[in-house]
Amino acid sequence: MAEIRHALTMKREDDFAAWYQEVITAADMAEESGVRGCMVIKPWGYGIWERMQRLLDDRIKATGHDNAYFPIFIPLSNFEREAEHVEGFAKEMAVVTHHRLIAGKDGGLVPDPEAKLEEPLVVRPTSETIIGDAMARWVQSWRDLPLKLNQWANVVRWEMRTRMFLRTSEFLWQEGHTAHGDEAEAREHTLRMLEVYRAFAEEDLSLPVVAGEKPENERFPGAVETWSIEAMMQDGKALQAGTSHYLGENFARASGIQYQDREGKQTYCHTTSWGVSTRMVGGVIMTHGDDDGLRVPPAIAPHQVVILPMLRDKPEDQALIDYCEVLRAALAEKCALNERVRVLLDTRPGKAAAKRWDWVRKGAPVVIEVGGRDMENGVISLLRRDALWNVENGKPAFATPTREEAAETIPAMLEEMQTVLHAEAKERREANITRGVASVEEVEAFYSTDEKYPGWVEVQWSKPTGEALEQVVERLKALKLTIRNVPVGSAAPDGACIFTGQPAAERILLAKAY
Amino acid sequence: MAEIRHALTMKREDDFAAWYQEVITAADMAEESGVRGCMVIKPWGYGIWERMQRLLDDRIKATGHDNAYFPIFIPLSNFEREAEHVEGFAKEMAVVTHHRLIAGKDGGLVPDPEAKLEEPLVVRPTSETIIGDAMARWVQSWRDLPLKLNQWANVVRWEMRTRMFLRTSEFLWQEGHTAHGDEAEAREHTLRMLEVYRAFAEEDLSLPVVAGEKPENERFPGAVETWSIEAMMQDGKALQAGTSHYLGENFARASGIQYQDREGKQTYCHTTSWGVSTRMVGGVIMTHGDDDGLRVPPAIAPHQVVILPMLRDKPEDQALIDYCEVLRAALAEKCALNERVRVLLDTRPGKAAAKRWDWVRKGAPVVIEVGGRDMENGVISLLRRDALWNVENGKPAFATPTREEAAETIPAMLEEMQTVLHAEAKERREANITRGVASVEEVEAFYSTDEKYPGWVEVQWSKPTGEALEQVVERLKALKLTIRNVPVGSAAPDGACIFTGQPAAERILLAKAY
C-alpha cells in the first residue's frame, strides 16, 4: 500500500469545516459575494442545483402540482395575522422602506425621504401568508380542491452566522403549498410530499435520509406538525434536508381560505407547505465529498463524462480532437438513468494533467484522458471518480478500454456509481447510529469521548410537551445536541424515557446538527 | 356567413386594452396580488413562461453560456460607480434599510431602529454592477476569456403605472453578462445574442420581430450601443421584446474587470449584457390572442392537446375515459417540434362544454371532445385553436377523424399551427408598416386619421445626436411616438432626413409603443 497524494490540502478527518470550505473553492462551486450573508453560486454549483431542480420538479409535477409565481414582497400586515409565524420570522427579515434614492449631502445616494413606503414591505422569508391570500381568492367550492401549488424562488432570512449553501441570507428553494377539504387528506398529503423528498434524496442525490416527525419545539412557526428528512454528514452531524408541514387550519383562518362544501356549508381548508433548498447542495458535498474534492452523483452531474484530449498546441491536435469527438458523439446518443448521457469534450487551453485534477476536484463522475499513444492504440484512459486510486501503487487508477468498449460500458458505469455512492453513505450512517442508549448520562458520556465524529444516538422518550419539553431541550442544548426526528418505521418503544423515567412513547434520534 | 358568438366579452377592435385584460383573466394567466405593482403569475401563465425558459435556456447554453446566481441585494455604493447607470435606475428602486421587525407602540410591527443597515441595500433592478464585481475576481488572464454567464432571476423596478406582464414592479427574466478581450469580439457577441433572441421569438413564439439598433436616447443606462427586437401588437403598437447591449469598457472600468493579455499587459475587458423577461408573455397575448381568448403557439403550450371526455357522473364514464386514455398514450409517444407531444386528459368535475370553452380561452392548440357516440363510432371531435369557427354556420369547426387518424395527424397539425401563427402575424405586420413617409407633417397626418390602429411608419433621418436628437424626441413625443430601432438589413437611405432636411443616414421605424 503506497501513500496517496490527495488533491486537496485539508482532510476530512483533520478539520471537517475547513475541508468543506476547500471543496467549495476547489470545485469552483460558490464564493462570498461581498454582500452580507449572500453568496455567488458559480456555474458548477449552479449546474448541480439546476439538475436537482429538474429532477425534483418532475417529481412535484408528477404528484399533480402546478408551478406558479407570487410576489417577493409581503406587506408587513400579512405577518401580523398568524401569531406564531411572525414570532418565528420577525427577527430575521429584510425590510424595504423606500422606493427611490436621491443624492445625499455628501454626493452619495440616500433613500429619498419623500419616497418612504406607507407600509413597509418584507422580502419573503417564506410565502405562506402571500400564497394564503391567493388561495382565499381561488378557492370557493369543494370543486376547487385540492389546490396544489409549487413555487421556485429566492427567499431571504437575515442570518448572523452564515456558511455557504448551508445557511445564507438569501437562498434558492422550492416551496409547495396546498389546500385541502379536510384534515385527513391534508395530513396524508404532508406525508406524500415527505416521501417525494425521501425518494428524491435517495434516488437522485444518493443521499440516505431518515424521514420522521420533528418534536414540537422544532416545528415550523405556525405548523401543527413538521416532518423532515435528516441526512448524516461525514462528520457525524445531522443535516435537515427537507421539511413538510401540516398547517391545520392556522393559515386558512389567518388568510380566510374557505370553501363551500358539498352540503353548502362554509368550511376552512386545511393547508400544507413543504420545501427543499440550495442547502441540499451542502448536504451532497458533505455526504459524497472525499479528500480529493467533490463526488457528484451521476444523476445530478452537469457533465457526467469529461473527455480531455492531451493537446500540445500543434497541428496534430486536430486528429486527437476528432478521435475524442467520435467518443463524445457515441456517448451523447446513449442513455443512463433515463436520460441522455451528458458528456463534455473539454478543449480549452491548459495542460491535460491540470485539467484532470480540476475535474476530479469538481467531482465529474468519469474523466477520460486521451493522448497520442492512446489514439494510436485505439484506446482511452479512464478514471472513475468513485474509485480514483490504485491503493497498491498510490497512483490514479486509470483503466484503458478501447474507445468502443468505453462507449458501451460507461452508461452502466454511471448507473452503478449512483448506487455505489448511496450504499457507501448508507453503510457509514448505519455504522454511526448508536442504539440502546438508556440514560442522559450515557448520552453525555457518548459525546464526551475522544471520538471526533461520534454520529447519532437513538433514545426513547415519553414525548413530554410544554415546560417538560423545554427542560429536555435545555439539557440537550448543554450537550450541543438536538432532537432530529421521530423516525418513521422505528421499532416500538420498550423502555423508559431517558429524560422523565416514564414509560417511553417513541424512539427519537439525537445529534449535533447543521 | 353566420354571426359568431365569440368566447370573450371584449373585442380587439373595440377596446384593445380592455380586451388584453380580459384575455389574461379568461385564460387564467395572472392577477393583481394586492402588493403594489406586483402580480401573481397563475399556473397557466407560469407554465407558458416555463416553456419559454426551457427553450431560451437551451439556446443560451448552446451558444456557450453557463448559468450562475448572484445576490438579489446590491450595496448602494455599487450603483454610484457608473454615473449613467445610477441616473437611469436610482429613481425606481426598492431599498432595504432594516433587517428586523419589532412590536411598535400600537402593537403592530415596525422596522427595528436597532437593526438599521449601515449601508442600504438595493433590490436588483439589473445585475451589471454585482456581476461586474464577480467578473473582476474571476478574470485574470486572457485564458479566462470570454467569460459567458447567464442568470434567471427576479428583478424589481418601482413602476408607477403597471400593466400585467408588460410593466410590473417585480418581473422575471434572464440576464446574460459576458466579458471579452476586445471590442470587436464583444460587439460581435452583442449581435449574436440579438440573433438568438430573434430566432427564439420567431421560431419558438411565432413572433415576427424587427431586429435593429436603438437610437442614442433609448440606450440602456451605461451602454455604448443597445439593440432590440421589436414586435408589432394587434393594435399596431410596438413592444420591445428583448435587448442586447454592448457596454464598451464602461462597466469594466467601474468594476475593475481587467486581464493580462498575451503580451502581459493589463487591459480592460469589453462587456455585454442582454435580457428577455416575462414581458414576452404579454407580447404573445397581444400578437396571437383573438376574440375567443389566447392562442398559444404549440412550442410554448404547457398542454398542446387537451382531451375532454364528456363525463356524466355515471358508471359508463370509465369506458369513455379508457377510450380517451388510449389516444392520450398514443399521442404522448409522438414527437412534434422536436419534443414529445404534451397531452392532458382532463377528467376534472365540470361540464364538457364549459371545459371546452375554458381551454379555448386558455388557447390550448388542440381541444378534443369525446362523447358516447364518438366512442361508438371510433372517432373523436377535434377543434384546432387556429381555425376555431366554421364561418358558414357560425359554429365551432369540429373535425371528426377516427381516433387512430387523430394520433397520426396531430403532431403535424401542431407543427403547422406554429407556422400558421407566425405567418399570420408577419402578414399583419407587413401590412401595417407604411414606408416612404417623407416629412414630419406626413407622419403627423398619418397618425391623425380615424384609423384606430395605424401601425408603424418607416422614415429616413440623418441620425442627429445630442441637442438635435432631443428636439426630435420631443417632436415625436408630442405625437406619442418613439423611435423603435434602425432595422438590420433595411434598404439604403436615399432621401432627406424628415427632421433636419440633411441627407439621410439610415431608415428608422416610428411607432406608439408599450
Between B41, B80, B158, which is nearest A99 by CB?
B158
pLDDT at res. B368:
98
pLDDT at res. A103:
87
Chain B CA closest to residue A149: B43
Mutate to test the interface with B, among A29, A35, A150, A303 (most CBs of B within 10 A): A35
| β-pair partners for A503 | A496
Could you tell me how many residues make up chain B? Answer: 514
- The reply to whether residue B68 touches residue A43, judged by beta carbons under 8 angstroms, is yes
- CA A200 to chain B, closest CA, distance in angstroms equals 21
Pair B313, B321: CB distance under 8 Å: no
- CA A317 to chain B, closest CA, distance in angstroms equals 18
CA B335/CA A31 separation, integer angstroms = 42
CA B177/CA B162 separation, integer angstroms = 27
pLDDT at res. A89:
80
- CA A478 to chain B, closest CA, distance in angstroms equals 28
- DSSP state string for A53-91: HHHHHHHHHHTT-EE-B--SEEEHHHHTSSHHHHHHHGG
Residues in A closer than 8 angstroms to B93, CB to CB, are 99-101
CA proximity to B490, closest of B101, B154, B106, B212: B212
Between A35, A43, A137, which is nearest B73 by CB?
A35
Between B69, B73, B133, which is nearest A172 by CB?
B69
- The reply to whether residue B43 touches residue A34, judged by beta carbons under 8 angstroms, is no
pLDDT tens digits, residue range A169-180? 999 999 999 999
| β-pair partners for A67 | A150
- CA A18 to chain B, closest CA, distance in angstroms equals 22
- Using 70 as the pLDDT threshold, list the residues of chain A that sit under it: 1
- The reply to whether residue B111 touches residue A97, judged by beta carbons under 8 angstroms, is yes
Q: Quote the distance between the C-alpha of residue A17 and its chain's center.
A: 17
Between A49, A72, A93, which is nearest B101 by CB?
A93
Residues in A closer than 8 angstroms to B39, CB to CB, are 71
Between A35, A80, A95, which is nearest B99 by CB?
A95
pLDDT tens digits, residue range A211-238? 999 999 999 999 999 999 999 999 999 9
CA dihedral for A160, A486, A59, B350, sign (positive or negative) = negative
Could you list the pLDDT tens digit for every one of the 514 residues in chain B? 689 999 999 999 999 999 999 999 999 999 999 998 999 999 999 999 999 999 999 999 999 999 999 999 999 888 888 777 778 887 789 999 999 999 888 878 899 999 999 999 999 999 999 999 999 999 999 999 999 999 999 999 998 889 999 999 999 999 999 999 999 999 999 999 999 999 999 999 999 999 999 999 999 999 999 999 999 999 999 999 999 999 999 999 999 999 999 999 999 999 999 999 999 999 999 999 999 999 999 999 999 999 999 999 899 999 999 999 999 999 999 999 999 999 999 999 888 899 999 999 999 999 999 999 999 999 999 999 999 999 999 999 999 999 999 999 999 999 999 999 999 999 999 999 999 999 999 999 999 988 889 999 999 999 999 999 999 999 999 999 999 999 999 999 999 999 999 999 999 999 999 9
Residue A455 neighbours by CB distance under 10 Å: 21
- The reply to whether residue B46 touches residue A38, judged by beta carbons under 8 angstroms, is no
- CA B324 to chain A, closest CA, distance in angstroms equals 19
In sequence order, which residues have a C-beta less than 8 Å from that of residue B2 and are 6 or more positions away? Answer: B391, B392, B393, B394, B395
Residues in B closer than 8 angstroms to A96, CB to CB, are 94-97, 123
Three-state SS string over B21-40 comes to HHHHHHCCCEEECCCCCCEE
Pair A114, A144: CB distance under 8 Å: no
- The reply to whether residue B111 touches residue A120, judged by beta carbons under 8 angstroms, is yes
Q: How far is CA B81 from CA A108, B86, B331, in A?
A: 10, 8, 56
Residues in B closer than 8 angstroms to A170, CB to CB, are 71-73
- The reply to whether residue B72 touches residue A47, judged by beta carbons under 8 angstroms, is no
CA proximity to B346, closest of B333, B358, B330: B358
Task: Dig out the grid coordinates for A287 from the structure.
Answer: 455526504
φ, ψ at A83 (rounded to 5°) = -60, -45
In sequence order, which residues have a C-beta less than 8 Å from that of residue A177 and are 6 or more positions away? Answer: A127, A128, A131, A135, A149, A150, A151, A271, A272, A273
Residues in B closer than 8 angstroms to A133, CB to CB, are 33-34
Could you tell me how many residues make up chain A? Answer: 514
Surface-to-core class of residue B62, CB atoms within 10 Å of its CB (0-12 exposed, 13-18 middle, 19+ buried): exposed
Residue A412 neighbours by CB distance under 10 Å: 11
pLDDT at res. A376:
97
DSSP state at residue A37 = T
Q: What residue type is A360 in one-letter code? A: V
Longest dimension (CA), chain A: 82
φ, ψ at A150 (rounded to 5°) = -140, 150
Between A70, A109, A156, which is nearest B76 by CB?
A109
CA B248/CA B256 separation, integer angstroms = 13
pLDDT at res. B80:
83
- DSSP state string for B226-280: EEEEEEE-TTS-EEEEEEEEE-TTHHHHHHT-EEE-TTS-EEE-EEEEEEEETHH
pLDDT at res. A107:
77
pLDDT at res. A344:
98
- CA B133 to chain A, closest CA, distance in angstroms equals 8
Kind of pairing between the strands at B456-461 and B433-434: parallel
pLDDT at res. B156:
97
pLDDT at res. A232:
98
- The reply to whether residue B72 touches residue A102, judged by beta carbons under 8 angstroms, is no
- The reply to whether residue A170 touches residue B73, judged by beta carbons under 8 angstroms, is yes
Beginning with the edge strand found earlier in the chain, give each strand of the sheet holding A95-98 in spatial order: A73-75, A116-123, A95-98, B95-98, B116-123, B73-75
H helices of B63-127, in order, are 76-79, 83-89
Mutate to test the interface with B, among A58, A76, A96 (most CBs of B within 10 A): A96
pLDDT at res. A352:
87
Q: Which helix (H) or strand (E) holds A51?
A: helix A43-62
Pair B452, B13: CB distance under 8 Å: yes
Between A50, A71, A130, which is nearest B67 by CB?
A50
Kind of pairing between the strands at A147-156 and A170-180: antiparallel
- CA A443 to chain B, closest CA, distance in angstroms equals 37
Mean of per-residue pLDDT scores for chain B: 96
Q: Which helix (H) or strand (E) holds B46?
A: helix B43-62
Between A71, A102, A108, which is nearest B80 by CB?
A108
- The reply to whether residue A69 touches residue B99, judged by beta carbons under 8 angstroms, is no
| Residue with cell string 432532537 | A483
CA B36/CA A287 separation, integer angstroms = 44
Pair B325, B402: CB distance under 8 Å: no
